[in-house]
Amino acid sequence: MAVASTSLASQLSGPKSLSQSYSGLRRSCPKLDHSHSPRSLFQHLHSHLSLSSSRKASRAVVAMAGTGKFFVGGNWKCNGTKDSISKLVSDLNSAKLEPDVDVVVAPPFLYLDQVKSSLTDRIEISGQNSWVGKGGAFTGEISVEQLKDIGCKWVILGHSERRHVIGEDDQFIGKKAAYALNEGLGVIACIGEKLEEREAGKTFDICFQQLKAFADAVPSWENIVVAYEPVWAIGTGKVASPQQAQEVHVAVRDWLKKNVSAEVASKTRIIYGGSVNGGNSAELAKEEDIDGFLVGGASLKGPEFATIVNAVTSKKVAA
């Protein structure tokens, strides 16, 4: 409650505070601010007032801005050995996970089969990347067809490490997403700004540019989860505050509404990634437009990953 009140007070106190609230997002965007404020201020306020006024109700529901199910993905990146992954799978198999969450893990390619054959069916499997088209003479690549053959249901595309280390551009990533979707894989579509881009007031511009590349290419948004991952928060120990993450998630949903459709904006899950752990996931999950998480390092620890999955309980309000 205190977090929400601070955010509201800073945004409602006048033009100067509004500018400060969006510092690092966009230096001058009056059209966006005007359309953004009714929803982010008054609807967000209404959701908190509703929470306060319904404490005595007898059952709980998950309160989210979108209509999709809470989603938590674990990106294991280039980590693990056969032995450590066996231990991690064992921990996940014994974990008690809330039922109303879609849970996905993305092991390194070498261990996909090991994980698929030993992990509970409660958790789905994702690839960490896929090629832009059908497999063939592409040394070192993994095709969508191969991921499907081994039992993957999802693939992570557009992760900042693929963008900024490997050098994949927006259009290439969009084409990869289109091919994966056409072949029946769900896509975890990553977007996010670097620190210098945030400090230059370009957060919205960068995120919208990356979203547009997906929108221009994909055949449908039905099997897409958008992951907002500020690059400056990935693996650094720095995490966006709940207000910072919520502001970008609201803007992403509004962009989808204006540029794709209201239905897509409502149904598409927008999850947060960037040093998410068992200690901060509950507070982040309370934000109305945070529909889940994409977890890096903390997903390598079974009990902590379970805690993050179960952060969905922070969204439950009496109804």
Residue 229 designated active-site = yes
What residues pair up with 75 in beta bridges, in sequence order?
106
Which is the catalytic residue, given 229, 287, 288, 304? 229
Our CA angle for 229, 34, 51, nearest 5°, is 65
Give the DSSP letter of residue 213: H
Contact by Cβ (8 Å): 36, 65 = no
Q: Which of 36, 159, 161, 197 is catalytic?
A: 159
CA distance 290 to 271: 6
Rg (CA), the chain: 19
41 SS3 class: helix
Q: Which of 227, 222, 288, 293 is nearest to 261 (CA)?
A: 222
CA distances from 114 to 23, 57, 80, 86, 160 (A): 46, 45, 12, 8, 27
Q: Count other Cβ atoms within 10 Å, centred on residue 6.
A: 11
Q: How far is CA 151 from each of CA 109, 185, 222, 282, rounded to the nearest angstrom?
A: 12, 10, 20, 31
**Catalytic-residue membership of 46:** no
- The DSSP secondary-structure symbol of 231 reads G
Rounded CA-CA distance 118/82 in Å is 12
Catalytic residue list? 159, 229
